[in-house]
Amino acid sequence: MIRAATVNDIAEIRAMIRELAEYERSAEQARATEEQLREALFGEHPAAFVLIAEDDETGQTVGYALWFPHFSTWTGTRGLHLEDLYVRSHARGEGHGKALLASLAAVCRQNGYERFEWWVLAWNEPTIDFYKSLGVELLDEWTVCRLSGRPLKELAAQAPADFNQAPVWQD
């Protein structure tokens, strides 16, 4: 079963985020607290949304997909960015990942989103193979860029003195 997350899922979502980070060999980077997740997912202006995968027989949470809308200047429409897709190891191969992706594709269709995009680690061949089996197009010509920590702080310090902060995006 796939369902929208509720505030009661926060602890389980955080646990799965940590499990995903461990799988991706980056456990030290998963610092989000339950309070941060509660505000980001269920606050006045949600920054992201979560679908939960539950085992049909046991009702246990076996996976999640965390996503948020983005905008394409080329299509002039919103799209869906999948930040996290995770299925617990004991439940892999049972269709939960495909059900989460299919549900997100349905969100796209229902909302008129023309693109559904996400990243995958280059070393994660089983997952890449799974995505290819669904007809996913791998955009090898693009490179992900990230600015964080000290370099972000240093570049921000170079903003023009008369810069007026733009309003924070709210949906």
For residues 30-44, average pLDDT = 97
Mean pLDDT, range 42-65, rounded to an integer: 96
Residue 19's pLDDT band, with cuts at 50, 70 and 90, is very high
pTM of this structure? 0.88
**Percent above pLDDT 90 for the chain:** 84
How much of the chain exceeds pLDDT 70, in percent? 96
Identify the pLDDT of residue 38.
Answer: 98
Is the pLDDT reported for residue 167 higher than 70? no
Average pLDDT, the chain: 93
Give the tokens for residue 94: 């049972």
Residue 113 known to be catalytic: no
Q: Are 64 and 16 in contact (CB under 8 A)?
A: yes
